Structure 1
Amino acid sequence: MELEVRHLRALCAIADTGSVRKAALQLGMTQPSLTTQLRRIEGAVGGLLFTRGQTGSRPTPLGHTVLLRARPIVAEMAALVTAARNAAVGAGGERLRVGSVGSRVVTGWLRRIHARFPDADITIHIEVSANTLLQLLATNQLDVAFVQETEGFPLAVPAGVERRVLTAREPKFVALAAGHPAAGRPVVKLAELADESWIVDPTADHEWAALCRAFAATGLDPRLIHVRDNTTAADLVASGEAVRPCQPTAEPAPGTVVRPLHGDPLTAELSLAARACALPLPELDALFTDLEAAYEEAATRSPAYQSWLDARGTALFRG
């Protein structure tokens, strides 16, 4: 087996994230595929490159030696690709690479961006993990990204990446079956859902940990089930088999309702992230203004969120 740049990139990702699972997510691979690839690389170099334990994956002395040579190669290749893309853009117009966590806000934001920059080549990259989006920004694979940070679980913000806060404390709501006994109430207490199975996405940053912390604060111990597919998750909620946390702007799936949680035990900070000086300030200001407008549009379409805002006399974008 001959080592290729993609193999070196995989080794750097494992070293940078400290985890084969996180590296696979960053690289857009499955964990088993990356594990198999790592074994083949180790077979090719003739030794163990990482030790695996409960604390993650750490380079061995041989791994450090290989990484010392791999990093410059990966960096040079990234620079070459970036230069080539920039040259292509220079010949054909402006390019804007947008990233975002999944949200109803994305459609309205993109519509406004296209209207503002009609001649630009605009691409969108959707990720469950905000940490992955920040890494893509740091490595010049994205220009700007809409991210969220779960309260109490700070994001790993790379050096040179800056964030502009959209709203400091967005509440998480809960989606449950329309026939659920709590569905008729305007606000639902966690204790009312203590016996339910809660759906969490294992690839979402800290979603599982935040939910466990919220229940622990009330002395409850929920049943958690990991589901990555949104269609399956929606069907499970509609059938009454489970409930799931959701964004307040989320549109209820057929057979479900979205309700606020009493006391707002789950919240997140929403922000626009970009590399420092990567975009001209007027352009960044415009993208942020469009994001604000798109978020407000999505919020006004959610009766549950509007009721939550009205009950508190809270204006959007003021924490």
Structure 2
Amino acid sequence: MELEVRHLRALCAIADTGSLHKAARQLGMSQPSLTTQLRRIEHALGGQLFSRERTGCRPTQLGRVVLSRARPLVTEMRALVAETKAAAARTAEGPQLRIGSTASRAIPGWLRKLRARLPGTEMSLQMDVSANALLRMVETGHLDIAFVHEVEGCPLRLPESLRRRVLLDREPQFVSLAADHPAADRPVVRLSDLAEDRWMVDPTVDGEWDGLRRVLTAAGLNPRVLHGDYLTAASLVATGEVVALCQPTSRGRTDMAVRPLYGDPLGVRLILAARTEEELDAVYGELEAAYWEAARQAPAYVEWLLRSGDGRGTTGGAPGGTLVPASR
């Protein structure tokens, strides 16, 4: 028997699910057929790859050796198929650019600038709270590029095959609070000012809850925490129910204030990732300009940048000049 990619895919499915039944369902085949196929693979390799236990299937020592070689091959084959399909689609339909991103105020301006520079290119955008999920999609060829943030102290699983460019090594995270909150009268808020408040955090955002918990613990705080999405958080912040971390490019409203935290206890790294340097070159300049354009429209961030002596935002939207505060 000669091993094929489908056999390696079957082994990976069994290892990932820990069950012949679940693996068969994932592969779209019957369990008896998968069991027979596994026996043939084991016979061909000359040893047992999985031990069958009451709790499921576990790789044997030989199985772990085989899986260590099989997984990269399966991943590469998936990427090859995805990239081939994408190339065929681009040939048939014209150039395409598939962008993935975590939440960012820079996205609208980025897309606008890309459309102006790449007329005739069909663009798609996929938003996801999970930076790791987006990076995997770039690795497998389902996306061309991903703009993600990496929470300080919670490194992302960046695939080795991807190229990356850091847009900002450390973007400080601000706090949003009700406009009538006592701390909203201050230009900079201390965590101790929020000791009695309930915080809201989205635990599905990679690293977000771990980062906030670490910062609160370091400040000696153990506040009440509500888990939920940030769209809901904005409404609850405005009514004074919660306070929440937010990006510095966020803009305040009549019912909500955005303020920097004293000492900037938490930051994120902004990363652009793609499979090639050429793909990064094609979109990075527009992203950089769009980010600083969004920064100039956020008064609290403008003031923070001026205080910190950071002059990367300019009136013209390109780095390297003098940041001018946005009109309030």
2:92 is aligned with 1:94: no
Deviation digits for residues 52-92 of structure 1, max 9, x if unmatched?
Answer: 9xxxxx97238x69979898677656533432331121123
- Residues 131 and 74 (structure 1), Cα distance of their counterparts in 2 relative to 1, 3 Å cut: closer
- TM-score, length-normalised on structure 1? 0.77
Structure 1 partner of 2:325: none
Structure 2 partner of 1:109: 110
Q: Secondary structure at the match of 2:153?
A: coil
Structure 2 partner of 1:315: 311
- Residues 77 and 204 (structure 1), Cα distance of their counterparts in 2 relative to 1, 3 Å cut: closer
Q: Which runs of 5+ in 2 are unaligned?
A: 1-5, 36-49, 313-318, 321-328
Pairwise CA distance, 1:219: 1.4
Structure 2 partner of 1:185: 186
Letter in structure 1 aligned against 2:303? S
Structure 2 partner of 1:26: none
Q: Is the 8 A contact 1:238 1:256 kept in 2?
A: yes
Letter in structure 2 aligned against 1:193? L
Deviation digits for residues 5-31 of structure 1, max 9, x if unmatched?
Answer: 9xx79x75994xxx99xxxxxxxxxxx
Structure 1 partner of 2:40: none
Distance 2:206 2:14 in 1: 17
- Residues 151 and 48 (structure 1), Cα distance of their counterparts in 2 relative to 1, 3 Å cut: same
Deviation digits for residues 231-277 of structure 1, max 9, x if unmatched?
Answer: 321111111110100000013356211110000001011121112xx
- Residues 199 and 50 (structure 1), Cα distance of their counterparts in 2 relative to 1, 3 Å cut: farther
Q: Which runs of 4 or more aligned residues in structure 1 lie more than 4 Å from their structure 2 counterparts after TM superposition?
A: 11-14, 36-43, 45-52, 64-78
After superposition, residues 112-261 of structure 1 pair within 5 angstroms as: 112-228=113-229, 230-252=230-252, 255-261=255-261
Pairwise CA distance, 1:203: 0.9
Q: Is the 8 A contact 1:175 1:244 kept in 2?
A: yes
- Residues 279 and 167 (structure 1), Cα distance of their counterparts in 2 relative to 1, 3 Å cut: closer
Distance 1:164 1:77 in 2: 25
Letter in structure 1 aligned against 2:89? A
Query: Number of aligned pairs?
Result: 283
2:293 alignment partner, one of 292, 297, 308: 297
Letter in structure 2 aligned against 1:298? A
- Residues 88 and 239 (structure 1), Cα distance of their counterparts in 2 relative to 1, 3 Å cut: same
Q: Is the 8 A contact 1:134 1:273 kept in 2?
A: yes
Q: Is the 8 A contact 2:238 2:256 kept in 1?
A: yes
Q: Is the 8 A contact 1:99 1:145 kept in 2?
A: yes
C-alpha root-mean-square deviation of aligned residues, in Å? 3.5
Distance 1:108 1:265 in 2: 28
Q: Which runs of 5+ in 1 are unaligned?
A: 21-35, 53-57
Q: Secondary structure at the match of 1:60?
A: strand
Pairwise CA distance, 1:220: 1.4
Q: Is the 8 A contact 1:234 1:253 kept in 2?
A: no
Q: Is the 8 A contact 1:177 1:243 kept in 2?
A: yes
Distance 2:299 2:161 in 1: 39
Pairwise CA distance, 1:297: 0.4
Identity of aligned residues (%): 44
Q: Is the 8 A contact 2:13 2:23 kept in 1?
A: no
Q: Is the 8 A contact 1:129 1:205 kept in 2?
A: yes
Structure 2 partner of 1:27: none
- Residues 94 and 41 (structure 1), Cα distance of their counterparts in 2 relative to 1, 3 Å cut: closer
Q: Secondary structure at the match of 1:182?
A: helix
Structure scoring higher RCO (CA < 8 A, sep ≥ 6) equals: 1
Distance 2:116 2:142 in 1: 23
Distance 1:13 1:144 in 2: 31
